[in-house]
Amino acid sequence: MLKIEIPEQVEVKVSSGMFEVKGPKGSVIRKFSARNVKISVSGKEVLVESDNVLEGTFIAHLRNMFKGVTAGYVRKMRAVHLHFPITLEVKGNEILIKNFIGEKAARHVKIAKGTKATVDKIGVTIEGADKDAVGQTVANIRTAIKIKQRDPRVFQDGVYEIIEE
């Protein structure tokens, strides 16, 4: 049996395998379903009981949910171009990538539910409470700007993630 403490300002609700975690940065809902695994809330602790190796996995998911609703997740991406200037624009629940490699048609990227995208001079910032949703939005951008039938060593235009330390 493993325990994880619920941080301050975080509220946890459990109903038939669905966990809802609310905090100052938003809320995250996730379904935990596995055989022989019991997850319960007692006081300011979440208890995970199991006879297999999924305890650690569920604890890690809960930690990510707690971090997301208290601090949030932020990923920054930068538009890089050599000749044709790339323009990024947020419209509704999509990111439009315009003038990519000189293309006339804009490429459309879906923003995952629960995330927010903001465009600045050099790129786009994706933030949200759900780590998976933020990562999925970044993956959608990377998929949309994949250059096919060209040498990636020569054609290096794209939108790349910035790693900040």
Render pLDDT for 54-69 as a digit per residue (tens, 0 to 9): 888 888 999 999 999 9
- What's the total number of domains in the chain? 2
Domain end residue (candidates: 51, 70, 89): 70
Q: Are residues 140 and 80 in the same domain?
A: yes
CATH at residue 33: 3.90.930.12
pLDDT for residue 52? 75
Q: Which has the closest alpha carbon to 77: 23, 135, 30, 33?
A: 135
Q: Are residues 12 and 78 in the same domain?
A: no
Rounded (to 5) percent helix, strand, coil in the chain: 20, 45, 35
What pTM, to 2 d.p., does this model score?
A: 0.88
Q: What is the pLDDT of residues 118-159, one digit of tens each?
A: 999 889 999 999 999 999 999 999 999 998 888 888 888 999
Q: Are residues 28 and 97 in the same domain?
A: no
pLDDT for residue 164? 65
% residues pLDDT > 90 (the chain): 64
Q: Are residues 85 and 157 in the same domain?
A: yes
Q: Are residues 53 and 126 in the same domain?
A: no
Q: What rounded mean pLDDT belongs to the chain?
A: 91
Q: Are residues 61 and 127 in the same domain?
A: no
Q: Are residues 26 and 90 in the same domain?
A: no
What's the domain range around 151?
Answer: 73-162
Q: Are residues 25 and 64 in the same domain?
A: yes
Q: Are residues 22 and 43 in the same domain?
A: yes
The answer to whether 135 and 75 are in contact (CB under 8 A) is: yes
